[in-house]
Structure 1
Amino acid sequence: MAVELEKKLDCKDLYSYLTNLGTSSLDSLYDSSYACLAVFRELPELAKQYVMRMLLLEGSISTSLIASWVTSSGQSDHQKALVKLQNLHILINGSTDEVTVNPVFRSSIKLYHICGSSAVEPLPPDKHSKDVTFLTKYADSRWECLLHYLVDSSTQEVSSGMQELMQNSRLVSHKSSDGRSVTNISSLGFQFLLLSRRIQVWFIVQEHLKNSQNLEDCVECLKLLFQLSFLKSGKEYSTELLTPTQQGFLQDLRELGLVYQRKRASGRYSPTHLGINVLEGSKKPDEEGAILPSVFKDGYIIVETNFRLCAYTNSQLDIQIIGLFCQLQYKFPNMVIGTITRESVHNAFKSGIKAEQIFSFLESHAHPNVLHNFPVIPATVRDQVTLWQHERDRLSFTEGVLYNQFITQNDFELVRQYAEDLGVLLWSSGTTRSMVVSKGGHEEVRRFWKRNKQN
């Protein structure tokens, strides 16, 4: 499930993302020791061994010699490690059967391993310094603002730039209603809610990087992200060492809750747990383990056979998400009660949300007391919601042009036959002398009718 969602959302893991940058961009990225360390720690264990063995070698080394470092049973892992190092431009191909460690990568990572020092030191605390508890609450509240906008576009706490990003990412869709534009969560947006928070953060960060004016700016932003992953929450760091591009990107990260900055002009910032763990979301599902449950910490939903839904939560965000496909009826201090109805699920279907996505959401957020049930969602509810979706899928909509008010039956039959021969006839009724042709065939049918009227 998680792999399918990430593919639909085009959410790449760190390895795939970096290999798409190109060799020159990777060389620029490897100027940062933090970037080199971050890439190094994501390498397979065998690839790490190769880098450490060759770290102090200035010249090239034959691949056959590297192959001799492993037994015959490990040749498959050897080939995978070698390909990964070459794709990341850590190993550079020389002459036939020879490779060398990228000098930029070697210099940066050797400096860190030998000197064992960090280029960024925390600032002494001042009267405005915040502790880890505050930073955690701040990060969670900022991220929930983004999710609130996703399920309710009337939320005004998201900047216009962030709204545009979510539209470009296809997490929300625009529809016209009563002469005005309405923004609703899309099918992909609902899938986005099913991902873990770390994957969500990584996806949005990737979308931000796509908006970079050029690859150089993208690399500068990546350097800041890699640096954040090595900093400590509860500590403050100076913005003076950041480039102008990174300082601008810092404001985007501030809105997302990845860093805290008391005000834009402040010369210090604090990374939050979202910023420090941002690269954790770039891991593949099999590396991270189970992706679900999503942003919610514990299961809280019980679905009964009579279509009633009980959600033990007081979070407004949780309630809004449930309201996307459920008719809410009662709200108590620690729970809400609603009913899954034909009308409520059809409203969800109109936004592109599928029945299977609703089932996945309910299962991944099921209350612990019903996890032992099989199935977790009552069969009656699952079957009925599926039938309601099939009911909607029976109808298909095709744009066309209506022809009517023919004076004689012969005129009607002449035009109908011509449209049918062209393959553009969508519907016809001899009783009312009416027909509908496709929009693409309208001009040809219209010209034919004008010629025959003149005759």
Structure 2
Amino acid sequence: MPSVEHNPDSVTQSEWSPHILLTFLQSQSQNALTRLYQRPSSCLSIFRLLRPLERQLIMNILWLESATPLSTMSAWVTQEGKKPYSDSLSTLARLHIIPNSTTKLALNATFRASLRQAITGGGTTGSFGVPAEPDPQHSPPDIATLDAYALERWETILHYMVSSGTGQHPTKPSQEVLFLLQRSGLMTRVHGGVLQITSSGFQFLLHDPHAQLWELLLQFLHMAEERQMDLVEVLSFLLMLSTMELGREYSTENLSPTQSAMLADLRNYGLVWQHSTSARQFCPSRLATTLTSSSPPLPTSRSTGGGSHDQGFIVLETNYRLYAYTDNPLQIAVLNLFVNLKSRFPNLVVGAITRESVKKALANGITADQIISYLTTHAHPQMRKNKPLLPVTVQDQIRLWELEKNRLKSQEGYLYTAFASQADYEYVLNYAKQLDVVLWDNPTKRCFFGSLDGHANIRGFIERRSAGIA
């Protein structure tokens, strides 16, 4: 068996960061995870989300019939790999894939059996979906049609978010989607019941498509029990979708009631396609089939930059001028969050990053690092020849504008003033300083400002002193 080594140069940082779904699964009970692990498709999908070292550990013991002593496994670990190895064991234990033991190492029996079946095939559980019989009346859509459908549904959600409060009237998503956006804190209702994007929503728009999709799906999972839906069934269906074949129709006959009810929600997000709401077949879109992979969820998307041709479209100069080679309204709307747009041509938008435009973005909850990250991610291929990629002067100035915003810090408290004498003022001030609750004081004006936590004690002290007790 190969030794367990840690080579930081062999993987990218994003591969080593834990997936948002794994964090959610770690908070679930062992019984719920064991039920989930009964499906081979769920085990395979979770395996794909794990970090390389965790996958290697699982494969090393997957085909062993008995537990392996931890001392034997530790002997394979190099000195540099001890911490990553320990972290990986901890993650697998929290997912209940391995027992939390200090002596032996073995896979959860249910997980082991299901993953073996997923790798070798066999069984009739329909865990990976049951292909539908051809329907002579309705032919399945081709992949290009599926991509266009998913793109239209997804961009409708994003464009509605970015256009809220601007006076524009984009296509409105379904009420279920709007409720989810509100529930997740990405949008909120203001005067008149109108939905308005929040600071979290602005940050959401700068995330990559995979992160955006999983953030919404995670909120969907949190709402499952509230909607009287079986959480394990919801999870297993999402993970099953991620293992299906793009462009193939699957039958709804073997779906549970919870999973059948999910189809309507998943159509709203563009994850599945059906020719009618009562159809007995459905087609997963690329948004669904890439849920647990590193492939772009929308390779033909103009807005998300998922495709190799669309990923880089921004040119940024040292004089803060920005050129965006795009004609997509959503991309332009996102840039408008932190760029002062000046000119628009058929396939080009020209603008500048200014103090006012950055301050507007900061006021909406977008950070300087998020702006820089977005510019880096969507930089034009021509810019990628530069080292560093973005002009250092522009990066530093964006951060300096953020520091301007953070110079002042507000804190709730009480202002104590109108003391009868200097002696009274100093007496109460000294008491407040002993409590370490004084935030500011001015001896000339006989006043000081105390924190919220110390108000009850200071008020009681003043009252006792006034009564002649202190």
Alpha-carbon RMSD across the aligned residues, in angstroms, is 4.8
Question: What are the superposed Cα offsets for residues 26-81 of structure 1, whole Å, 9 maximum, x if unpaired?
Answer: 43224434335545677846744754x56xxxxx54647xx7xx9x869999x999
> What is the aligned partner in structure 2 of residue 113 from structure 1?
121
Q: Classify the secondary structure of the residue corresponding to 2:396.
A: helix
Q: Does 1:137 align with 2:111?
A: no
> What is the aligned partner in structure 2 of residue 356 from structure 1?
369
C-alpha separation between the residues in 1 aligned to 2:435 and 2:77? 64
1:31-430 to structure 2, matched below 5 A, reads: 31-38=38-45, 44=55, 47-48=58-59, 51=62, 53=63, 61=66, 63=68, 102=109, 106=113, 110=117, 113-114=121-122, 120-125=130-135, 126-127=137-138, 129-154=140-165, 157-159=172-174, 161-163=176-178, 165-166=180-181, 169=184, 172=186, 183-186=197-200, 190=203, 192-193=204-205, 195-213=207-225, 217-280=230-293, 295=306, 297-404=310-417, 419-429=432-442
Q: Name the CA shift for 1:201/1:371 in 2 (closer, same or farther; >3 Å).
A: same
Give the drift of 1:384.
2.2
Residues 37 and 109 in structure 1, CA contact (< 8 A), matched pair in contact too: no
Give the drift of 1:421.
5.0
Residues 321 and 352 in structure 2, CA contact (< 8 A), matched pair in contact too: yes
Gaps of 5+ in 1: 55-59, 284-292
Question: What are the superposed Cα offsets for residues 340-395 of structure 1, whole Å, 9 maximum, x if unpaired?
Answer: 22222122222332222222211221122222223332233223222222222221
C-alpha separation between the residues in 2 aligned to 1:93 and 1:449? 57
> What is the aligned partner in structure 1 of residue 20 from structure 2?
12
C-alpha separation between the residues in 1 aligned to 2:16 and 2:178? 21
Residues 229 and 258 in structure 2, CA contact (< 8 A), matched pair in contact too: no
C-alpha separation between the residues in 2 aligned to 1:243 and 1:367? 46
Residues 314 and 325 in structure 2, CA contact (< 8 A), matched pair in contact too: yes
Q: Percent of aligned positions with the same letter in both sequences?
A: 34
> What is the aligned partner in structure 2 of residue 29 from structure 1?
36
Q: Name the CA shift for 1:414/1:238 in 2 (closer, same or farther; >3 Å).
A: same
Q: Name the CA shift for 1:428/1:263 in 2 (closer, same or farther; >3 Å).
A: farther
C-alpha separation between the residues in 2 aligned to 1:429 and 1:46? 64
Q: Name the CA shift for 1:98/1:346 in 2 (closer, same or farther; >3 Å).
A: closer
Question: What are the superposed Cα offsets for residues 208-247 of structure 1, whole Å, 9 maximum, x if unpaired?
Answer: 2233219982211222123223333333333232111112
C-alpha separation between the residues in 2 aligned to 1:307 and 1:152? 25
Gaps of 5+ in 2: 1-10, 297-303
Question: What are the superposed Cα offsets for residues 382-421 of structure 1, whole Å, 9 maximum, x if unpaired?
Answer: 2322222222222111123344566776766665555455
Q: Name the CA shift for 1:83/1:123 in 2 (closer, same or farther; >3 Å).
A: farther
Give the drift of 1:151.
3.5
Residues 202 and 365 in structure 2, CA contact (< 8 A), matched pair in contact too: no
Q: Name the CA shift for 1:178/1:163 in 2 (closer, same or farther; >3 Å).
A: closer
Q: Name the CA shift for 1:416/1:282 in 2 (closer, same or farther; >3 Å).
A: farther
Q: Name the CA shift for 1:173/1:393 in 2 (closer, same or farther; >3 Å).
A: farther
Letter in 2 for 1:212: A
Residues 322 and 350 in structure 2, CA contact (< 8 A), matched pair in contact too: yes
Residues 238 and 269 in structure 1, CA contact (< 8 A), matched pair in contact too: yes
Residues 161 and 197 in structure 2, CA contact (< 8 A), matched pair in contact too: no
C-alpha separation between the residues in 2 aligned to 1:86 and 1:400? 45
C-alpha separation between the residues in 2 aligned to 1:85 and 1:341? 47
* 228-237 or 148-157, larger mean C-alpha shift: 148-157
Letter in 2 for 1:27: T
Question: What are the superposed Cα offsets for residues 288-308 of structure 1, whole Å, 9 maximum, x if unpaired?
Answer: xxxxx9657321112222222
C-alpha separation between the residues in 2 aligned to 1:4 and 1:110? 29
Q: Classify the secondary structure of the residue corresponding to 2:342.
A: strand
Q: Name the CA shift for 1:404/1:344 in 2 (closer, same or farther; >3 Å).
A: farther
Q: Name the CA shift for 1:304/1:443 in 2 (closer, same or farther; >3 Å).
A: same
Q: Does 1:439 align with 2:447?
A: no
Q: Classify the secondary structure of the residue corresponding to 1:278.
A: coil
C-alpha separation between the residues in 1 aligned to 2:461 and 2:193? 35
Q: Name the CA shift for 1:82/1:320 in 2 (closer, same or farther; >3 Å).
A: closer
C-alpha separation between the residues in 2 aligned to 1:398 and 1:179? 31
C-alpha separation between the residues in 1 aligned to 2:365 and 2:141? 42
Letter in 2 for 1:28: R
* 327-336 or 427-436, larger mean C-alpha shift: 427-436
Aligned length: 429
Residues 19 and 87 in structure 1, CA contact (< 8 A), matched pair in contact too: yes
Residues 272 and 284 in structure 2, CA contact (< 8 A), matched pair in contact too: yes
* 229-238 or 420-429, larger mean C-alpha shift: 420-429
* 100-109 or 360-369, larger mean C-alpha shift: 100-109
C-alpha separation between the residues in 1 aligned to 2:436 and 2:47? 60
Letter in 2 for 1:185: S
Give the structure with the higher percent helix: 1
> What is the aligned partner in structure 1 of residue 6 from structure 2?
none
Q: Classify the secondary structure of the residue corresponding to 2:322.
A: strand
